[in-house]
Amino acid sequence: MNNSSLAVNENGIIALLSVDDATYDTLSRCNFGGAELMKFKNGLDLSLKWEQEKLNIIAIISQSEVLAPQGVNLVDTLQKSNFPYIPFFLVSQVVNENLSRICIQGGVADIFKIPIVKEQAETRINFLVKNWKLTQDKIRPKKIEQYRIPIVKRIFDIVFSGLALICLAPFFLVLMIIMKIESKGPAFYYALRVGTGYRTFKFYKFRTMYVNADKRLKDLAHLNQYAGKDEVAKALTNNLLCDQCIISGTSCQRVLYADGNSWCEKHYINHRKSLSGATFFKLKNDPRITKVGRILRNTSIDELPQLWNVFIGDMSIVGNRPLPVYEAEKLTTDKYALRFKAPSGITGLWQVEKRGKGEMSEEERLMLDNAYAENHSFANDIRLILKTIPALFQKENV
């Protein structure tokens, strides 16, 4: 079988999202029958130019982690925006059976592991593009039956969160004024989190740090109680962008948002770890945290904006804590994926069972999440809510 027999339409465009130089070099050497390779910064850049310039895009190749915003979620986003249903290919660092299953169910035509092989990419991409109409019925995203919150639990969530938001509204207003007086910046911020059924949503919290907190880490490295001189020197020379930021240029895959401000969440966490050469980063009287923020953290008041997430249905009062995207994408094996078949919530089993009883391993926490997913009920949720109240007054950070 020769390349010409598989060639795609000559006037078509193959859109490339966030591909690195090595991947682009491999794809540029492929024979796609005259189709033009066109780079885009991210999904938003693609959708805007696709619509405004009426581009004849015949395929999309995105270099992204499966559960990241430019991964399988982008397929659903484009479909909901009524863009043409065309072959969508993923290029990812990690490819396994579970991730491949998620891709197929989500409508991804094919997935390649980095580094991609020229011959494989050329053959498989050309074949699927040429035969798309014949195969799309089998590849088109299937309607997966998602977990639905029981009606009693949902009514309780709406009533509880709605009343709480109404009663707390004056307090929120006063708190926002105090925060503005102490430090400039938005009162709220949100980060993308993965909840029930691997669905991503905006996770809201009160801001507890100054808006340039991540930038100040470099200046405060020498104060880290866990870091020696060698670790500090290493931290100060670290690249300030995460891997996905580097790949996509100015577009971050894992962003913390607050009005016009944004930070790379993965960079922030990795940078904190690099400062100590280990997991811990500890500053005595951390100057990055505002005075109001310290009170909010110690009393868990910074979590109260999540009542809005509960009210609109992203979360429940009780459930497994939603995870950052880069953590959720690691939990795709059958052993751990069960936790995503339960509602995501503000409080849950592991918070009340293990809080104040010493350090807890990730394995223990995940097992408790699975236990909740298998045995949750409205009656058990009420018990967990009652147990949460005394747990709030314990100082251990969860």
- What digits encode the pLDDT tens for the residues 150-207? 899 999 999 999 999 999 999 999 999 998 888 888 888 888 888 887 788 888 988 8
Q: Alpha-carbon distance 383 to 375, whole Å?
A: 13
How would residue 9 be classed by pLDDT, with cut points 50, 70 and 90? very low
| pLDDT for 61 | 94
363 pLDDT exceeds 80?
Answer: no
Q: Alpha-carbon distance 252 to 268, whole Å?
A: 12
Treating both helix axes as pointing N-terminal to C-terminal, what angle do 118-130 and 132-139 enclose, rounded to 10 degrees? 90
Task: Check residue 3 and report its DSSP letter.
Answer: G
The rounded percent of the chain whose pLDDT value lies above 90 is 21
The arithmetic mean of pLDDT across residues 116-128, rounded, is 91
- For the chain, what is the mean pLDDT? 75
On whether the 3-139 domain is CATH 3.40.50.2300, my answer is yes
Task: Check residue 308 and report its DSSP letter.
Answer: H
Q: Domain ranges for the chain, please list them.
A: 3-139, 151-327
| pLDDT for 262 | 52
- What digits encode the pLDDT tens for the residues 12-70? 899 999 899 999 999 999 998 888 899 998 888 898 899 888 899 999 999 987 777 78
Q: Answer yes or no: are the C-beta atoms of 58 and 36 closer than 8 Å.
A: no
At 29 the three-state DSSP class reads: coil
| pLDDT for 369 | 83
Q: Answer yes or no: are the C-beta atoms of 242 and 266 closer than 8 Å.
A: yes
Q: Alpha-carbon distance 84 to 140, whole Å?
A: 12
75 pLDDT exceeds 50?
Answer: yes
The arithmetic mean of pLDDT across residues 304-326, rounded, is 89
The arithmetic mean of pLDDT across residues 343-368, rounded, is 71
270 pLDDT exceeds 60?
Answer: no
Q: How many residues does the chain have?
A: 398
The arithmetic mean of pLDDT across residues 284-312, rounded, is 83
Q: Checking DSSP bridges between strand 255-258 and strand 188-194, what pairing results, if any?
A: antiparallel
- What digits encode the pLDDT tens for the residues 228-243? 444 444 444 444 445 5
Is this model's pTM higher than 0.85 or not? no
Tell me the C-alpha to C-alpha distance, in Å, between residue 124 and each of 61, 66, 67, 134. 12, 19, 22, 15
- What digits encode the pLDDT tens for the residues 157-167? 999 999 999 99
At 36 the three-state DSSP class reads: strand
